[in-house]
A and B are shown apart, each in its own frame.
Chain A
Amino acid sequence: MNVDRWRLEDLYADYARLLDDGPLEAWPGLFVEQCLYLAIPRDNFDAGLPLATLRCESRGMLADRVKAVQETIMFEPRYLRHHITQIRPTERDDGGLDVTAHYTVVEVLHDELPRILSVGRYLDVVVEDDDGALRFAEKRVVYDSVLVPNTIVYPL
């Protein structure tokens, strides 16, 4: 697959925009139907332990997480801001791209100063889907900030 860096940049910009500004229900559309999304504490990842704190094995499970955030989880209202940098694609033999990137998510609770909710890296597989759009086939969010400041509500 020819790597068009701008198209890739747009994918990550859309990812951040949909999570931070919405509409959140459009966010699963950045993934292929049979995708894998994992948010893994870095110590688990380094030790080869499989436990992820968020684990979605399909676009449907991503949609279920979105619905839970919107309708079922009780949480203090908050704003998030994703900052994604050092996006680095490498071509895979199967035509897709391995993409690594660094990220920081800043969280702002209504009555508190901004703080870093999560910092880490993305280990992604990006493919060109049937309709020609770039989508995530896999996203592993490996977070260094293993001691989570209270709760992860929105996807990282």
Chain B
Amino acid sequence: MRQCEDWGTDSITEAPFWVYTDPDVFDREMARIFCGRSWSYVGLEAELPDRGDYLVTRIGNRSVIVTRDQDGEIRGFLNRCAHRGVKLCRHARGNSRMFVCPYHQWSYDARGRLKGVPFIKGVKQLGGMPEDFRREDYDLPELAIARRGGVIFASFAPDMPALEDYLGDTNTAYFDRVFDGRGLRVLGYSRQLIPGNWKLMFENIKDPYHASLLHVFLVTFGLFRADQKSQVRMDESGGHALLISQRGEQKASEDTKDMRNLRVDFTLEDARLLDPVKEFPDDATVVMQTVWPNLIVQQQSNTLALRQIQPRHPGAFELHWTFFGFDDDDEAMTTRRLRQANLMSAAGLVSADDSEVIKLAQDGIAEGDGRSLMLMGGRGTGDETHMVTEVALRAFYKHYRAVMEL
């Protein structure tokens, strides 16, 4: 693997292209970041209403099972048989008390504890496992679980800090702003395999600078624009960030003169597509939160989604979207959320710009020799009250380099 010296010790204003392409860096990310001391988003309690309900998801590139056990507790463990490495569970979701490997039918309980090995004593005194085989040595790695506001996080590290300490005060407060204790209603999923390094997705959502330039829809309809009141806020580590802003008007001004994509004359034939209503107590109309290492919480107008980043290899990741509303939404609100999902999904009028630009970024990065520059707004990593900054990317790399020791 390349060394820190190739990067420039402590540099957070640029990232060499090899951090987006090197397989050794990727393996180290899986070990240190995703399987290390982090809380990864894995699902919603609303997806596991009954005892025995399970879902299969990923932490990094590791397949994991998350389930509600017979006592109603949420449990999680690695979805990989201890015998020959076979994927235990091949359904995306379902209900089961035990998880049985299809190959030799080794069976595991809801905590990944090995409960059954067929022919363990052999047949007619022939075969079987050796005398010294101890079943309990082959339990699957169990995940630590944290829950907040109906959202489930998991960790391969057994001794993680509480989720609110992990997030820090500010990020916890904004997380609670959406997940305020009301019951969540899953509206559906959207999945994309984006041909770019997973970090590009985080960088994209931590980057308010691009939003005022790339996204015609955001700029034109004032959904997220540099001339509006906004903030970029991080936690102490730099791993998490918040982009917070307020909706403005479809109007040009002195501040918008660099925004070639502001189209004052652009109109919708059916205005119902964009008919946002205020639903949170504060003045923010958009909050994009990135939670290290795999979650984006999206509140753009009335479209709410959790976007989970699942790295597949250095050059691709899955973006797994879970759209939701609340149990107390009326029909009009549900319809509004479903309509606004036109902006954000695998076919989103806004997010399409991002998945396309990430592909183009990876195409350039894959050419090899170069580095990505993150100098907009200075060299610091502290909170800002404007959008013309790449500060959250620098904060991300500050944390990244510390965790990776790279």
Contact B189 A150 (CB under 8 A): no
Q: How far is the CA of A40 from the CA of B214 in the complex (A)?
A: 27
Smallest Cβ-Cβ distance to A43: which chain B residue: B189
Contact A148 B193 (CB under 8 A): yes
- Chain A residues 15-57 with CB under 8 Å of chain B are 39-41, 43-44, 47, 49-57
Contact A74 B353 (CB under 8 A): yes
Q: How far is the CA of A67 from the CA of B272 in the complex (A)?
A: 16
Contact A61 B189 (CB under 8 A): no
Contact A72 B349 (CB under 8 A): yes
Q: How far is the CA of A7 from the CA of B298 in the complex (A)?
A: 45
Contact A51 B191 (CB under 8 A): no
Name B189's contact: one of A44, A58, A67, A153 (CB within 8 Å): A44
Contact B189 A151 (CB under 8 A): no
Q: How far is the CA of A54 from the CA of B270 in the complex (A)?
A: 15
Known: A72-B349, A75-B352. A49 touches B338 (CB 8 A): no
Q: Enumerate chain B residues within 8 angstroms of A49, measured Cβ to Cβ.
A: 186-189
Smallest CB separation, A147 vs chain B (Å)? 5
Q: How far is the CA of A152 from the CA of B356 in the complex (A)?
A: 10
Contact B269 A51 (CB under 8 A): no
Q: Enumerate chain A residues within 8 angstroms of B356, measured Cβ to Cβ.
A: 73-76, 150-151, 153
Contact B357 A39 (CB under 8 A): no
Q: How far is the CA of A149 from the CA of B347 in the complex (A)?
A: 11
Name A61's contact: one of B261, B263, B269 (CB within 8 Å): B269
Q: Enumerate chain A residues within 8 angstroms of B342, measured Cβ to Cβ.
A: 54-56, 65
Q: Enumerate chain A residues within 8 angstroms of B193, measured Cβ to Cβ.
A: 147-150
| Interface check B360, CB cutoff 8 A | yes
| Interface check B217, CB cutoff 8 A | yes
Q: How far is the CA of A43 from the CA of B91 in the complex (A)?
A: 12
Q: How far is the CA of A91 from the CA of B318 in the complex (A)?
A: 41
Name B214's contact: one of A43, A74, A146, A148 (CB within 8 Å): A74
**Digit string of A79-122 for contact with B (CB within 8 Å is 1, else 0)?**
00000000000000000000000000000000000000000000
Smallest CB separation, A6 vs chain B (Å)? 32
Contact B353 A150 (CB under 8 A): no
Q: Enumerate chain B residues within 8 angstroms of A72, measured Cβ to Cβ.
A: 216-217, 220, 261, 263, 266, 349
Q: How far is the CA of A117 from the CA of B157 in the complex (A)?
A: 39
The count of residues in chain B whose C-beta lies closer than 8 Å to any C-beta of chain A is 42
| Interface check A63, CB cutoff 8 A | yes
- Chain B residues 211-254 with CB under 8 Å of chain A are 214, 216-217, 220
Known: A76-B360, A148-B192, A151-B347. A55 touches B186 (CB 8 A): no
Q: How far is the CA of A152 from the CA of B321 in the complex (A)?
A: 15
- Chain B residues 182-202 with CB under 8 Å of chain A are 186-195
Smallest CB separation, B53 vs chain A (Å)? 13
Smallest Cβ-Cβ distance to B217: which chain A residue: A72
Known: A75-B356, A150-B355, A151-B355. A55 touches B349 (CB 8 A): no
Q: Which of B189, B220, B346 has the most CB of A within 10 A?
A: B346
| Interface check B359, CB cutoff 8 A | yes
| Interface check B334, CB cutoff 8 A | yes
Contact B341 A153 (CB under 8 A): no
- Chain B residues 134-162 with CB under 8 Å of chain A are none
Q: Enumerate chain B residues within 8 angstroms of A43, measured Cβ to Cβ.
A: 92, 189
| Interface check B273, CB cutoff 8 A | yes
Smallest Cβ-Cβ distance to B358: which chain A residue: A150
Smallest CB separation, A42 vs chain B (Å)? 11
Q: How far is the CA of A63 from the CA of B345 in the complex (A)?
A: 19
Name B347's contact: one of A39, A58, A64, A67 (CB within 8 Å): A39
Known: A72-B349, A148-B346, A150-B193. A57 touches B188 (CB 8 A): no
Query: Known contacts A50-B334, A51-B341, A147-B192; can you find 19 more A-B pairs with CB under 8 A?
Result: A41-B191, A51-B187, A52-B188, A54-B347, A56-B270, A58-B269, A58-B272, A60-B270, A61-B269, A64-B269, A72-B217, A73-B216, A73-B352, A76-B359, A148-B346, A151-B347, A151-B355, A152-B352, A153-B356
The 28 sampled A-B contact pairs (Cβ below 8 Å) are A39-B347, A41-B188, A44-B188, A44-B189, A47-B188, A51-B188, A51-B345, A53-B345, A55-B338, A56-B342, A57-B272, A58-B270, A61-B269, A61-B272, A61-B273, A64-B270, A72-B263, A73-B216, A73-B353, A146-B191, A148-B190, A148-B191, A148-B192, A149-B192, A149-B193, A150-B193, A151-B346, A153-B352
